[in-house]
Structure 1
Amino acid sequence: MSEAKLAPNMPKWMVDHVDKYLSSGGKEGHMYTLTPPNSAPITVPSLLLITTGRKSGQKFLFPLFYGKTGDSYYIVASKGGAPEHPGWYRNLLANPEVEIQVGTAKMRARARTAKGEERARLWTDAAVFWPPYIDYQKKAGDREIPVVVLDPVH
């Protein structure tokens, strides 16, 4: 994978998670356990996404929860229900060529925003592995939270 910087303003728990993921070559950190507010602990699969900054042209790394659909992976641009899309999503709209690490596997991928039935299906699946997405959508109001499919480039 390219040399990438951690995204700016990343919370400490995310930095620690990325450090564990990278230092173990993906053997640790792929399955991540955390406790959302007012919930029992949840173990969620996570990947590392590298995007190219839409303004800076620099490579940025983001840890994200994911699901799998066929040979592809999908991620949710929730930003915790904020009114605007996360920076990584805006980056991949400008340049959909990304790199990902899923466990120990590293690959190039092309990102696309799921639409229609595909989005509805993947959103439902995502809410199973990370139930807080439901509350994030309520909090986001009129902003439909994007679901992004990462298709490996062979």
Structure 2
Amino acid sequence: MSSATDLHGDPHVERYLETNGEDGYTWRNGTTILILFTKGRKSGQQRTHALIFREHEGDYLVVASKGGADAPPAWFVNLQADPNVEVQIKGDRFPATARVATAGEKPAMWAKMTEVWPDYDEYQKKTPREIPVVVLERKG
């Protein structure tokens, strides 16, 4: 059996959801993972993604890096089409609204994310695309 730090993609999401984050919440380098549920902009089908996150002033931050690829990750394009998402952190699943951090907010948020995943700085160097920080705001 592989460890939770070896989990990626769909197997990571499945294991996390099966165990309410018992497996998969804590990941590499002490990072923590949430599950983001988006709606496919073309299919209308629910999509799930395991993403590194940090809490920030009651909201949750994720980075749409795709490893520094020139195209943004599909989940980011989906939430731009429909910012109404669901988030699961351990056993807590809740509705949220996704938005891109403003130019004024981003530097502090980016620094907070690179504290736990320094590779984000390297990813940004690989692409002319400005990698966004996404703020997930719990509804209600």
Shift of 1:107: 0.5
Instruction: Provide the residue aligned with 1:145 in structure 2.
Output: 131
Cα deviation digits, residues 10-39 of structure 1 (max 9, x gap): xx7323322221111222211112xxxxxx
Q: Does 1:16 align with 2:3?
A: no
TM-score normalized with structure 1 length: 0.83
One-letter amino acid of the counterpart of residue 139, structure 1: K
AA aligned to 1:150 is L
**TM-score, normalised relative to structure 2:** 0.91
Aligned residue pairs: how many? Answer: 134
SS in 2 for 1:66: strand
| Matching of residues 36-115 of structure 1 within 5 Å | 42-115=29-102
Identity over aligned pairs, percent: 40
Task: Give CA-to-partner distance per residue, 1:55-103, whole Å, 9 cap, x none.
Answer: 1111100100001111110100000000011110000000000001011
Q: Distance in 2 between matches of 1:125 and 1:145?
A: 14
Amino acid at match of 1:24: T
Runs of 4 or more above 6 Å deviation:
none
Shift of 1:43: 2.0
| Counterpart contact for 2:10–2:49, Cα < 8 Å | no
Instruction: Measure how far apart 1:49 and its partner are.
Output: 0.3
The answer as to 2:26 corresponding to 1:31 is yes
Deviations 1:100-142 (A, max 9, x none): 10112110000000011211110111111101001000011x2
Alignment RMSD (CA, Å):
1.2
SS of 2:41's partner is: coil
Q: Amino acid of the residue matched to residue 97 of structure 1?
A: N
Whole-Å Cα distance in 1 between the matches of residues 94 and 77 of structure 2? 21
Find the counterpart in structure 2 of residue 117 from structure 1: 104
Secondary structure of the equivalent of 2:94?
strand
